[in-house]
Amino acid sequence: MNANFKRTIKQYLIQESRRLEKSIQAYQKRLERMSPSSGDDADHVVNLLEQSHTLTILEQLRQQLNRVEAARRRVAEGKYGICVDCHRAIPAERLKALPYATLCVRCQSQRERGPRSLMMSQSSLQAT
């Protein structure tokens, strides 16, 4: 990975981290402003649905922030762009599309297919 690409990714991760933190704060404030409904049952249900939706979004934003922060740590440790399963370089195109990727496409697809596929892959990697 060349220095320019690394610098660009590092800057993107910093900006993405800030954006996610602001979004999390906004949704937390929104959640705090939601008050228990004092209306009828329908109002109460709508309020509960809105709270549930907001909590779901908050959880997704927090997970995304965790992935971005982990990528920032990997950059700082010099481990960014290395697949955690096969320890080979993750292609720059994948990192451009998914800057917090921890797996190369091959290992990601094997994980998605399940544990049996992963075991078979690891044995084939050891053979190479």
Is 0.85 topped by the overall pTM?
no
Per the document, the length of the chain is: 128
24: domain CATH number is 1.10.287
Whether residues 59 and 75 share a domain: the answer is: yes
Report how many domains make up the chain. 2
How much is the pLDDT for 44?
80
Residue from 93, 27, 35 nearest 65 by CA: 27
Whether residues 53 and 113 share a domain: the answer is: no
Span 59-71, average pLDDT: 98
The tokens for 64 are 């995304």
Whether residues 9 and 54 share a domain: the answer is: yes
Whether residues 14 and 32 share a domain: the answer is: yes
Burial 47-69 (b: 16+ CB within 10 A, else e): beeeeeeeeeebeebeebbebbb
Whether residues 31 and 66 share a domain: the answer is: yes
Whether residues 66 and 5 share a domain: the answer is: yes
Distance CA 75, CA 69 (A): 10
How confident is the model over 93-116, as pLDDT tens digits? Answer: 999 999 999 999 999 999 999 866
